[in-house]
Amino acid sequence: MPKAAERRRIGVYYAERSDDVPPKALVRKWLLAALRVEGRRAGAIGVRFVDREEAARLNRDYRSRDYATNVLSFPYARKPLVDGDLALCPRVVEAEAAEQGKQPLAHYAHLVIHGTLHLLGYDHVGRRREAARMEKRERKILARLGFADPYRSRR
């Protein structure tokens, strides 16, 4: 269970909900698990579940890509504490989970961890070695939380 100070530093907000969107306590648990494996602590981190329109707007405005994506990370500071925001789009996340034959909760856990690693400075885009390092870290954190390897079906 997160300490009271950690709960105050991690805000979870719902602009979009579905039956499969995880509760705040689980989102915090996953985020803190990723931070702990890296030996880091949360500063101010916000996690927001957004609708398709907001996900597309954020992706367009900040990444110059005109479509809704599963998770976006906005790091503000990495040291001494980690500050940033994550935006997850439930419709995209749940559609991907269905397409990939994954449980929605497992896919949400993976994407929260993936986004948190981006807040920590991991970047897989166009970097094969960094992508492999990031995936290895994701597998380790997810395994500690009792989830299967999310990349297993790609092999």
Is residue 2 scored above 70 in pLDDT? no
- Give the tens place of pLDDT for each residue, 46-58: 999 999 999 999 9
Rg of the chain's alpha carbons, rounded to an integer? 15
| CATH class name, domain 4-147 | alpha beta
pLDDT given for residue 5 in this prediction = 57
Strand 82-88 with 71-77, pairing: antiparallel
The pLDDT assigned to 125 comes to 78
Domain boundary assignment for the chain:
4-147
Contacts 24+ apart (CB under 8 A), 137-144: 137/37, 137/38, 138/110, 138/113, 138/114, 140/37, 141/33, 141/34, 141/37, 141/113, 142/106, 142/109, 142/110, 142/113, 144/33, 144/37
What confidence tens digit (pLDDT) does each residue in 19-50 have?
999 999 999 999 999 999 989 999 999 999 99
